[in-house]
Structures are given as structure tokens and as C-alpha cells.
Structure 1
């Protein structure tokens, strides 16, 4: 059979897979020695634009919209929708609100309003999204989304004065136990530094993914570090430094929120619902970047 030309052109002797659907593709060898282009449904998202054919096992490059930093199996058999955008949006909105308060936007300084958002959206909905990531086989997405859902649920508990975690007078008030009135600041610092460590672990797992996916965890990591440092600065009797660190945490939190929305949009947008798609910027050392360099060298040799 003559080779069928597509964009990019199929290799010589390769047959077009008539059962293909939109998405990535790879060249497979049939029993008779001929080759067929197999295509995978990539959730309808055209952001995955392959420049070279994948290995026959069908593993695809990292993609932030799937909340998966590593190579993974095709999803054409999946009976679930992609839960990552839901979890990313829940994280983004809650982080956005808290970050504005950390920046003292419009004079708002009390974080009580975050408790409602953290319980209903950032906590519950993100936890559910994490469990659905478990169902679709995405270990990274399940771990990250479920953990940050737990963060927002626990943070809402901290903000609730009825739990008396930070004192009966409200969030971040002095403990009324007769001890150090700033003791709660160090305790809050312990809490935040733990989340900084966890986020650093997640960050290290995105080093071979995309710029936008890495940027999400990088800015979030800096936000946790700044907020933890602010709590320790308060305990050390340096309120001015604590204020500046809180504002820095708010800035990084806002960046993290917008990057989460960016990745969520990347995971939802396709030709059926949007007039445009957004790039995800694969790292040069990622699998996609390696393939692009390999294709570029091949073209240079041909020229």
C-alpha cells in the first residue's frame, strides 16, 4: 500500500490507521512486517502536538493539564473524565483568596473567610479530585491533590476558634494557657515548614515536565517558605520582617494560583470548547524536548 501523507508526513511504507482518533500517535510494526500509525485519544486536548512518533508502548510526554509529571500510558480506555482541572481550580481559587489577604488587599487582614472556601472547595472538592486521580491511575496527581485538599481542610480547622488550636479569641491570637503568647506562631511555623518540605518533594518530581507545571510547584514552595518564615519572625519579635514575609508569601501564592488556573485551562481547552489553546513549554531535557532536538538534528542532516 502506498504511504499516506499527513502532517507531519508519515515515514515511507507506513499505513494510516483508519481507526485513529485525535491525539498522540506512534508507529507500530504489524505481524506481516508493515507499519501502522496508531493514535491515542489525548482527552481531546490539541496541546499535545507530537513532532515525532512515540515508542510502541504508547508512553506520552509530561503534561500539566493531566497533573502528571512523568511518562504514562495512553488514556483512550479511560471511563473517567480528567479530574486534574477540577483539583487545580479548587486549589487556585482558595490560594488566590488567602494570598490577597496575606497582601492586605483593600485593608483585609483577617483570614476567616478562607475557612469557608477551604472547607467547601479547596479542601473537599480537591480531596475528591485526588481520589479520582487515584481511580485513573495517576499516582502523582492523587498524592498531590489529596494532600493539598487535606492542607486546606486542616487550615480551616486552625482558623476556627471553636477548636481552640490558636486560642479562643480567633485566628492567630495568643494562646490563653498561661504560656508564651507567641507560642502559636512557632507552632504555625512548624505546620507550614512541613508543607514546604512536602512541596519540595513534589517539586523535584516535576523537573522533567513542563515549565508551567514546574512553575506551579516552585512558586507554591516559595509561598510556604515565606509564610513559615513569617511565623518564626513573629515569634522572634520581628513584626516588620514578618509583615514583609507574609506579603512575599502572598505574591508567590498569587503566582501559584494563576499557574494552577493556567494548567487547568490547558487540561480543559480543545477545539470543541475554545478558539485557542495555550502552550505548556516542555523543558529541553524532558522527553518531548529530547524528541524535538532529535527531529531538529535529523532535519539539519537532511538539509
Structure 2
């Protein structure tokens, strides 16, 4: 076969699923954190349930699956894990409020669960030392948020819970900013919104 008869099909650019995953995480986190911080009433938690299932949970799971195609172990682990977190949180509220499970004697178990999510976040945060600074800040604020919320739940300390809410609000806003930067930079085809480095732009 002659060389000039061999044609190479153009490779289509791959979209960055982190933009979707971060906005799903950030928006849901902001809403819940407004409740934890005491800015919105505690009675507003049921509003978080469908958002956590349809957006915070499901869209992060989609993002995590797409990260598999890109060979991104960190993105896969983070988005699938936090997508599952939002499903766990929503189902816990849904089952508890409808008395499908008895939460009356759980004691500090929910607080311990939040601390374990903090442990997961802490080890993921270590990996962000090699990633864009926006991810470093998101995971730093997130593992401390989990620690505050977990300790607040264990000790029944509303002050710690409110502090976790305020820090979670910052974390959610950082995630929204990260998504904004990824989508904007990808759309413009060049770094427009600073993210600390450029690897998130593709």
C-alpha cells in the first residue's frame, strides 16, 4: 500500500468531566452548608435531598466514570466517592424522616461516619500537592469541614457544626470557582481564569 494512501482519522478532543463534577459538588455543598451554618433553617434539609440525589450525587458519578476513560485515578476516586457520599446523605435523611430506618439510638455513629469521610478527604488532599492549587484548597477546606461536622455531631456541639457550615460554604464556593475556571478556559481554548496551574485545562 502506498504511503500517501494511508490516512489518519482526526482525534476528537475529550471534554473535561471535572467541570461537571465540581459544580455538582459545589452547588450541593453550598446549599447544605448554608443550613449547617445556621443561615438557612434546619427544616430546609429535605430540599437538599433531591438535589443531592439528582445533581450532587448522580452528576459526580457520571464525572467519575468519564474520568476512567481519561485514565485519571484521582478524579475517578474523588468524584465516585463524593457522588456516593451525597447518595448516602440523601438516603439517610429520606429513610430516617420516613421512619424506614430507626435513627433514635445511633448515638455518635453519624459523627464518626463524617470523620471517616474526613479521613478519605485527608488522604486525597495529599495527592493535590501535585495538582492545581484550586484542588489543594478545595480538599483542604473539605477535610477540615468533615472534621468539624463530625466532632460537632459526636459532642452535640452546635458551635462546631456552625463552624463546619461556614467552612463548607467556602469549600463549595471554591469548587464552583474551579468549575467556572475549567469550563471558561476550555471554551476560550486558553487560560482565562487562574486555577493555580494549567493541567485542568483540556
TM range (shorter): 0.7 to 0.9
Contact 1:196 1:225 in 2 (8 A): yes
Give me the whole-angstrom Cα distance separating, in 1, the residues matched to 2:186 and 2:74.
27
2:186 & 2:64 partners in 1: Cα distance?
27
| 2: CA distance, partners of 1:272 / 1:92 | 20
1:178 corresponds in structure 2 to none
**Deviation at residue 135 of structure 1 after TM alignment:** 1.5
Equivalents in 1 of 2:175, 2:49: separation in Å?
Answer: 20
- Pick the aligned partner of 1:81 from 7, 10, 15: 15
Residue equivalent to 1:254:
169
The correspondence of residues 132-143 of structure 1 with structure 2, limited to 5 A, is 132-143=66-77
CA distance in 1, matches of 2:88, 2:167: 21
Given candidates 124, 127, 140, the residue that maps to 1:218 is 140
Sort the Cα spacing of 1:271 and 1:207 in 2 relative to 1 into closer, same or farther, 3 A. closer
Distance in 2 between the 1:214 and 1:226 partners? 19
Q: Per residue, is there more strand in 1 or in 2?
A: 1
Determine if the alignment matches structure 1 residue 194 to structure 2 residue 127. Answer: no
Residue 100 of structure 2 corresponds to residue 164 of structure 1? yes
Counterpart contact for 1:92–1:256, Cα < 8 Å: yes
Render the CA deviation track for 1:175-200: whole Å, top value 9, x for unaligned.
1xxxxxxx424010121011011000
- Name the larger-Rg structure: 1
Output the CA distance in 2 between the equivalents of 1:109 and 1:220. Answer: 21
Q: How does 1:228-247 map to 2 (within 5 A)?
A: 228-234=150-156, 242-247=157-162
Find the partner of 2:35 among 82, 101, 115.
101
Q: What 5-or-longer segments of structure 1 have no aligned partner? A: 1-75, 168-174, 176-182, 235-241, 288-303
* TM norm structure 2: 0.84
Q: CA RMSD in A?
A: 2.3
* Cα shift at 1:252: 1.0
* TM-score, length-scaled by structure 1: 0.57
Pairing of 1:1-303 with structure 2 (within 5 A)? 77=11, 80-106=14-40, 108-110=41-43, 111-160=45-94, 161-162=97-98, 164-167=100-103, 175=104, 183-234=105-156, 242-270=157-185, 272-273=187-188, 277-282=192-197
Structure 1 or 2: more helix by fraction: 2
- Per-residue CA deviations over 1:77-136 (Å, capped at 9, x if unaligned) read 565311110010000011000000001214x11322111111110011111111111112
Equivalent residues of 1:118, 1:152 under 8 A apart: yes
Q: 2:86 is paired with a residue of what secondary structure?
A: helix
Q: Does the CA-based 8 Å contact 2:185-2:193 persist in structure 1?
A: no
Rounded to whole Å, the distance in 2 between the matches of 1:165 and 1:189 is: 17
